[in-house]
Amino acid sequence: GETVMYSMWKIMCFFYFKPHKHISLHQIHKIMFFLAASYDPFKIIFDEHVSAHLHEWIDLIFGYKQRGPEAVEALNVFYYCTYEGAVDLDAIANETERKALEGIISNFGQTPCQLLKEPHPPRMSAENAFRRNARLDILPPNLFDQLSKLRSFKEVVSDGLPLVQAVVPRNQTRSFIIPGSDILVTVSANGMIGTHSWLPYDKNIANYFTFTRDPSVSNPKTQRFLSGPFSPGVEIGSQVLVVSTDGRLLFSGGHWDCSIRVTMLGKAKLVGRICRHIDVVTCLALDLCGIYLISGSRDTTCMVWQVLQQGGFSSGLSPRPVQVLCGHDQEVTCVAISTELDMAISGSKDGTVIMHSVRRGQYLLTLRPPCESCLPAPVAQLEVGIEGHIVAQTVMEGRSAGKEKYALHVYSVNGTLLASETLDEKISALHLVPDYLIVGTQQGNLHIRELYSLSLAVAPLALKVPVRSVSVTKESSHILVGLEDGKLIVVGAGKPEEVRSGQFSRRLWGSTRRISQVSSGETEYNPVEPSAK
C-alpha cells in the first residue's frame, strides 16, 4: 500500500508540477480517483496523506514558493517564459521571434497565477475536525427556538439605580476579567460603568450561564463613571449610549457641549471628544460590524462617523463625519444604520423616517408611519434588521396626559408597510433580531413578537418593574433586560437534565467555586407587585 501510495504521489506531482496543455486538472483528479478507488486501503491512506500535505502543494503551485528565492530552494523553478507576465507577445514585432516564443510556451506549458504570498495553513486533520464538531454540540441553544420554555434569572448590578444599558459586545477577542469568558457591559442611570464576566454556557450545562459581577461597582472608591455633565432634558439611556463591537469603547451623546464622547471602558478614561453638531446629540447607533456610527441631533441633522481601528481594536472616531444627512424639520429622536445594505435611517419628532445611503449620503426615501389623528406621530425608536426590515415606534398623543398610545410599524427594505400594531403600554426598550421583535414596557412586561405580523409569539413575560434596556447575546442564547430597580434579568430557555433530575456530580464542575458561580446564575426571578405609594 505504501509503495502504491508513493507511486501515486509521484504521478500527481508530475502532472501538477509539469503542466501540460493537453491534460486538465479535472482529468488529473479523475485519474487519481479511479486509481484510488481500485485499491480501498490505498484510498484511505492516500486521502489522509494528501490532506496532510495539501498546503505544501498549494505553496508550490499558487503560493509563495512559486517564484523567488523560496522557489529556488524548493527546486520549483521553470523556464522563464512559462510565468505569467514574463513575456508580452503583442510587444514583439519580429514575427519569427514571436512564433519561437509561442512554441516554447506551448512546449513547456503555463505556470498558474500566483495567488498567495504567504504560506498556506495546513488542512485540519480528520481527528481535529471530529473534535471540533464535538465542541459545536456544547454551544448554547438558540433562545428563539424554545420560546415555550422561557425562564428568567436575576442578577443585582446596581441596587436602586436604573440599569439603562446591558450588552455583550459581539466581536470580543479576549476577556478583560476571566480568560475564556466575555465581558458584559452595563451602564447605570448615574453613568456608572460595569464590566462583568459573562459565560453563556458550560459544556455540561448548556442552558445556564455564569455571571461574575464587576467588584468595582460595589466599592465607592473604585466605581467608574462617564464624564459629564449631560444636557438638561436628556435622559441617560440606550438611545445615547453605544458600546463598540469589541467591547473596548463606549460612545456617548447627550452632553451639554453638543459633543460625541469616546470613553475607554477598562479605565473609564475619556479618549475622544468630537463637536460637529450645533445642538445636543440625542441618539446614536452602531452598525453590525462596528465600522460606522451614526448620530442624530436637535439641530435636525444626522452624521455618519467612521470608527477608527488601531492594531485590530477600536480606538476612536474619525475627527470629521463621513456624511452629513439632512431632511428633517424637527429634532432627530432615533437613528439606525446598516453598512451591509448601505442604509442610514433616522426618525424625528416631525413624524417622518428618512433613509439615506451610507457611502454617498444620497437621499433614498421618506416613510410616514400611519396615525389616527391628523397630527404626525413623533418617531421614538428605530431598528433595522439584517435583511433591511425597518421597525419604527411612534407615540400618538391622547386626549389627556398619560393617555398616549404607542404603535409599532414594520416596513420592508423598499419601504412597503408590512404590519402595524397599537399597544396600550408605554414602550421603553426595543430590540430587533432575525424574525422577532423584543419589546420592553414601562409597565414591566417583556413582549416577543413575530417580526412580519407583530403578533405575540409567546405570552408576555411579567417582570413587574419598568424595563429600561433590552439586548440579546451574540449567540442568541439569552435576553438581557435592565430594570428600573438596578436588576439585570437574564432570560433563558429550558433547563438542563442534570439540574432537573438533581444529579450534581462534582466531576462536572471541577471546583466548589464553579458550583457557587453557576448557582448564582440559577436564581430564578419571581417578581412581586410593587407596593403602592
Quick check: 32 pLDDT over 80? no
Quote the pLDDT of residue 202. 64
Highest mean pLDDT among 143-152, 197-206, 221-230, 386-395: 386-395
Q: What are phi and psi of 372, to 5 degrees?
A: -70, -35
**What is the C-alpha to C-alpha distance for residues 408 and 367, in angstroms, rounded to an integer?**
13
Quick check: 387 and 340 in contact, CB under 8 A? no
Question: Can you tell me whether residue 152 is helix, strand or coil?
Answer: strand
Which domains occur in the chain, in start order?
1-133 (no CATH), 226-371 (2.130.10.10)
| Predicted structure pTM score | 0.71
Record the cell numbers describing residue 223, joined without a space.
Answer: 466605581
- Residue 431 β-bridge partners: 438
pLDDT 10s digits, 214-243: 999 988 899 999 987 899 888 889 999 999
Which is more confidently placed, 449 or 204?
449
Cβ neighbours for 62, distance < 8 A, ≥ 6 positions apart: 112, 113, 114, 115, 116
- Give me the pLDDT at residue 502, please: 41
Cα–Cα distance measured from residue 206 to residue 214, given in angstroms and rounded to the nearest whole number: 23
Q: Of 27-41, 210-224, 364-378, 460-474, where does the model show the most confidence?
A: 460-474
Q: Specify the range with the lowest mean pLDDT, choosing from 10-14, 269-273, 389-393, 398-402.
A: 10-14
pLDDT tens digits, one per residue of 367-393: 999 887 778 899 999 999 999 999 999
**Secondary structure of residue 172 in the 3-state scheme:** coil
Which residue would you say has higher pLDDT here, 507 or 302?
302
Indicate if the alpha-carbon torsion angle 45, 47, 48, 54 is positive or negative: positive
Q: Grid coordinates in use for 60?
A: 508550490
Measured CA to CA in angstroms, residue 219 lies from 155, 214, 292 at distances of 17, 10, 35
50 pLDDT higher than 50: yes
Distance CA 57, CA 29 (A): 14
Dist CA 48 CA 167 (whole Å): 44
Residues in the chain: 533
**Ranges 445-454, 459-468, 507-516: which has the least confidence:** 507-516
Mean pLDDT, all residues of the chain: 82
7: enclosing H helix or E strand: helix 2-17
Is 495 a residue whose pLDDT tops 70?
no
The whole-angstrom separation of Cα 261 and Cα 376 is 32
Structure letter (DSSP) for residue 202: B
Whether the CB-CB separation of 64 and 117 falls below 8 Å is answered with yes
Query: Residue 492 phi/psi, 5° resolution?
Result: -120, -175
Q: Which of 47, 83, 41, 36 is nearest to 62 (CA)?
A: 83
Alpha carbon distance 518, 207 (integer Å): 11
Per-residue pLDDT band at 266 (split at 50, 70, 90)? confident
Question: Which of 102, 253, 49 minimizes the C-alpha distance to 165?
Answer: 253
Q: Judge whether residue 38 has pLDDT over 60.
A: no
Cα angle 481, 243, 272 (rounded to 5 degrees) comes to 145
Q: Residue 248 — pLDDT band, cuts 50, 70, 90?
A: very high
Q: What is the pLDDT of residue 174?
A: 54
At 337-362, the pLDDT tens digits run 999 999 999 999 999 999 999 999 99
Least confident of 39-53, 139-153, 175-189, 213-227: 39-53
pLDDT of residue 20: 45
pLDDT at residue 506, rounded to an integer: 35
Q: Which residues of 136-146 are buried (b: 16+ CB within 10 A; e: fewer)?
A: eeeebbebbee
Contact in structure between 35 and 8 (CB atoms under 8 Å): yes
